[in-house]
A and B are shown apart, each in its own frame.
Chain A
Amino acid sequence: KNEVEQSPQNLTAQEGEFITINCSYSVGISALHWLQQHPGGGIVSLFMLSSGKKKHGRLIATINIQEKHSSLHITASHPRDSAVYICAVLGYFGGATNKLIFGTGTLLAVQP
């Protein structure tokens, strides 16, 4: 079982739809990142969360520390939102540093 699991793995939506991507993790964390990666491209950090909720434009990210769960919402989706969305947690592993553990990613395709 992966320490960070995302669902769904693949998601196809029509332009304008409200999209939710979920992330569950099983380790103790200090923070959670939502990342975006376009095909063949680099990674862009969308949010870093340690509690509550953050909003940036059409994107909203929430985290429930007790339930070890986070969600990324995209309102009024657009074809340019098509990308892989990755949940990554900064976990404690007994060492001096925190390691980033990546989820398997959600491939989102928004059709016009």
Chain B
Amino acid sequence: EPEVTQTPSHQVTQMGQEVILRCVPISNHLYFYWYRQILGQKVEFLVSFYNNEISEKSEIFDDQFSVERPDGSNFTLKIRSTKLEDSAMYFCASSEGGGQDTDTQYFGPGTRLTVL
């Protein structure tokens, strides 16, 4: 069964460093998403991406964040200058992009980002 994959599974970085989290969505899916879950808190929406552009973003997704689809298979989240509060599990998701009503989102296993 096709699945969303994410690399790395765990990333440790120093405050102020740039990180890039990578995702390979399910191959025929058209919508891509990033969510994050700070330890002990709810899963929060960051951004959705469709047709090579951001279709929606949350208040969390400020200028420190960017997303890119550099090729036909990868979808990346870049954090320019990491802060301690960026430490979280980051989930990538994808969906077929059909009608909103039937568009199930499928999640990857997550990347745990630790900022020291």
Q: Do A and B bind each other?
A: no
Which B residues are closer than 8 A to A by beta carbons?
A: none
Which residues in A have some Cβ–Cβ distance to B below 8 Å?
none
